[in-house]
Amino acid sequence: MNHSIHHYSNYTSQQLATSPYFLEWVKFPDAANTAFWQSFVTAYPDKAAEVDAALTIVRSLYVVHERPTPLQQREMWDEIYNNIGNNKLYARKSPLVYMARAAVAVGVIAAASWLIFRPGNKEVNITSNFGEIKTVYLPDSTEVTLNGHSVISYRKEWANREVWIEGEAFFNVKKNVDQQFDVHSNGVDVHVLGTSFNIRNRRGVTAVVLNTGKLMVAASAEKKLILSQPGDMARYDREHNNLVQKKVPVSKVTGWQQHKLQLDQTPVADFFGVLEDDWGYQIQATDSSLLNKTISGEIEMTDKEVLMNALAVILDAKVTQQGSTIIVTPN
């Protein structure tokens, strides 16, 4: 999931109350999501009332049994959007119309509650924490390495070699000529027999980079790409429904497995996004023009002091840290 405090800056209390990450915080609070929403209120104090109202809504309407999985969330939002589309309201703004709108909103929230948190015992869900690199083995001996803040899900009944990914992972797929291996992520389907590749799904963009072998990436029946050479990348932007092919150095894409960030003319805004999505930091740039710059270099992520010093050098800035928030002030 994509968690940036700025993403929620214009949310109303009702929108917050149906946001999966807000729901997760209310019902499954932990250090990461608590720090996130505290940072949100600190950054946007005028939203404190909206947050309080959303808390009241959630606590009064939701009955939660367990944390949602990526597969459940995907099914949930498809159903919720269909429910919304089927409840078209009259343009004339009479009191009855306002009541109808309220009823629809409550109905959607209630549907979200049940759909997000309905109990499920037919899936296996493996997660990694912020900054954690985790290696897991699937029932067919396929090796998967998860980047920080990522989730892999698959059905307990391993009849089909099929998994769902949120975040980033590197796959070394066990070859089986009789059965293909399918990976689903943010509207993209990856079909392989035996190969190794990296897949990253953040902020509405999914990128698949081939390491060895050959695979097909499909965003729809009409939008498909074949990756056959190491470094071939398929990049899908879900908002614009755009699937394109590029060439990138494999080592640059997979450096995260060694806890390293490799930057090559990388926009600062994208770099900050990685720190937020994979490592759980919140970045505050005192000068927004800094986000338009590009940077190159390699950063070792295992030592916070080294990270702070590297940021200061690469960005030519003063870098300070307050909890999980990194404040960057250009020199």
Residue of 177, 147, 172, 151 whose CA lies nearest to 163:
151
- Cα angle 218, 278, 51 (rounded to 5 degrees) comes to 100
- In this structure, are 185 and 218 located in the same domain? yes
pLDDT of the chain, 331 residues: tens digit per residue: 456 788 888 888 878 877 778 887 877 777 788 888 888 898 889 999 889 888 876 665 544 444 455 555 555 545 544 544 444 433 333 333 333 344 444 444 444 443 444 444 478 889 999 889 999 999 999 999 999 999 999 988 888 899 999 999 999 999 888 888 999 998 889 998 778 999 999 988 999 999 999 899 988 877 889 899 999 999 998 888 889 999 998 988 898 998 888 888 888 888 888 888 888 888 888 888 888 888 887 788 887 777 787 788 778 888 888 888 888 888 8
- In this structure, are 11 and 106 located in the same domain? yes
- In this structure, are 100 and 26 located in the same domain? yes
The CATH number assigned to the domain holding 157 equals 2.60.120.1440
125 within domain boundaries: no
129 within domain boundaries: no
128 within domain boundaries: no
Both tokens assigned to 185: 């992520």
Cα–Cα distance measured from residue 94 to residue 275, given in angstroms and rounded to the nearest whole number: 48
Residue of 287, 202, 208 whose CA lies nearest to 4:
202
- In this structure, are 53 and 142 located in the same domain? no
59 within domain boundaries: yes
Q: Which of 253, 282, 307 is the last residue of a domain?
A: 253
Q: Which domain holds residue 277?
A: 259-330
268 within domain boundaries: yes
Cα–Cα distance measured from residue 9 to residue 45, given in angstroms and rounded to the nearest whole number: 10
The CATH number assigned to the domain holding 309 equals 3.55.50.30
- In this structure, are 151 and 104 located in the same domain? no
- In this structure, are 175 and 194 located in the same domain? yes
127 within domain boundaries: no
Which pLDDT score is estimated for 68? 52
Residue of 295, 300, 302, 301 whose CA lies nearest to 316:
295
- In this structure, are 153 and 52 located in the same domain? no
Amino acid identity for residue 322 in this structure: Q
Which pLDDT score is estimated for 165? 93
285 within domain boundaries: yes
Domain count, the chain: 3
- In this structure, are 104 and 160 located in the same domain? no
**DSSP label of 222:** S
Taking CB atoms within 8 Å and a gap of at least 24, the contacts of 63-68 are: 63/113, 63/117, 64/23, 64/27, 64/28, 64/113, 64/117, 65/117, 65/118, 65/119, 66/117, 66/119, 66/120, 67/24, 67/28, 67/117, 68/20, 68/24, 68/116, 68/117
Cα–Cα distance measured from residue 158 to residue 141, given in angstroms and rounded to the nearest whole number: 12
124 within domain boundaries: no
Which pLDDT score is estimated for 198? 95
- In this structure, are 247 and 267 located in the same domain? no
Q: Identify whether the C-beta of residue 72 lies closer than 8 Å to the C-beta of residue 115.
A: yes
- In this structure, are 249 and 264 located in the same domain? no
Which pLDDT score is estimated for 99? 37
Q: Which of 253, 277, 304 is the last residue of a domain?
A: 253
- In this structure, are 160 and 215 located in the same domain? yes
Which pLDDT score is estimated for 300? 80
Q: Which of 221, 253, 285 is the last residue of a domain?
A: 253
Partner residues linked to 165 by β-bridges? 152
Cα–Cα distance measured from residue 281 to residue 260, given in angstroms and rounded to the nearest whole number: 16
- In this structure, are 179 and 229 located in the same domain? yes
